[in-house]
Amino acid sequence: MSEKNQACSNKPGLLVRSWRGFWRWSFRLLLAFLLLSLALVLMVSFINPPTWAWRIDRALFPPKDNIQVRHQWVPLEKIAANMQLAVIASEDQRFTQHNGVDFVAIKTAIEDRDPGEPLRGASTLTQQTAKNLFLWSSRSLVRKGLEAWFAVLLDTLSGKRRTLELYLNIVEFGPGIYGVEAASQYYFNKGAGKLSSREAALLAALLPNPWSYRIDPPTAYMNRRADWIGRQMRQLGMATLNDLD
């Protein structure tokens, strides 16, 4: 056989080996990612994280200079029921009904979206927790896909009560103010376990934009937001918290 014919006959074998190598390494990378993500979620299910992705991002790329960081971890049972209900009423009223990703809310958001506008209002409290814990701040489809994956893991492995506890302890309530205990002390000079319904509604009203919104004292807009959250809290009722697993 000539060298030319031999080279041609070797090409299919080389391509097959290349594809096999590609899929073998792809499988290994996927398996490594799955194991790592499972390990991360299991870890935060039982251990209070000393830091998290959103806090690291803020430290590396602060919107403002000389920000004093405030944070104090408190267990869920020491956070007022008013505050627990307020964030559910404000951020995710179907929190106890979905499995981390709310496909009903996604469908509604798609139907209500104006042409050319980004999708808004479909991110669950669980997804927000996953983003703050593990991911970066961009709005890319890759980030949203990972966010959904981690949200399902959190809901499955950590459960509603732990997810809510994580959320309330790491969410940002103002420049450098992480978690409801630090926020309660900063804005109201009291512990998170003593928050009234109105105070909880005001804190929840900060969450969409804690670097711009102010409640010390609250603006007219923030009072209206807190009024709306208060009405949602009354409609949901404290019995909502009984559905946390």
Lowest model confidence (mean pLDDT) among 80-94, 114-128, 175-189: 114-128
pLDDT attached to residue 105: 74
Lowest model confidence (mean pLDDT) among 50-59, 105-114, 119-128, 190-199: 105-114
The CATH class given to the 51-96+153-243 domain equals mainly alpha
What type of residue sits at position 131? Answer: K
Q: In this predicted model, which residue has the larger pLDDT, 44 or 108?
A: 44
Residue-wise pLDDT tens digits, 131-150: 999 998 777 888 899 999 99
Among residues of the chain, what percentage have pLDDT more than 90?
68
The reported pTM is 0.87
Residue-wise pLDDT tens digits, 22-68: 677 887 888 898 999 999 999 999 999 999 999 999 988 888 888 89
HEC readout, the chain? CCHHHHHHHHHHHHHHHHHHHHHHHHHHHHHHHHHHHHHHHHHHHHCCCCCCHHHHHHHHCCCCCCCCCEECCCCHHHCCHHHHHHHHHHHCCCCCCCCCCCHHHHHHHHHHCCCCCCCCCCCCHHHHHHHHHHCCCCCCHHHHHHHHHHHHHHHHHHHHHHHHHHHHHHCEEECCEECHHHHHHHHHCCCHHHCCHHHHHHHHHHCCCCCCCCECCECHHHHHHHHHHHHHHHHHCHHHHHHCC
pLDDT attached to residue 114: 54
Q: Report helix, strand or coil for 218.
A: strand
| Tokens representing residue 112 in the block | 């209500």
Q: In this predicted model, which residue has the larger pLDDT, 25 or 200?
A: 200
Q: Name the nearest CA neighbour of 164 among 108, 126, 107, 197.
A: 126
pLDDT attached to residue 8: 53
pLDDT attached to residue 61: 87
Q: Does the pLDDT of residue 6 top 70, yes or no?
A: no
What type of residue sits at position 233? Answer: M
pLDDT attached to residue 103: 85
Q: Does the pLDDT of residue 19 top 80, yes or no?
A: no
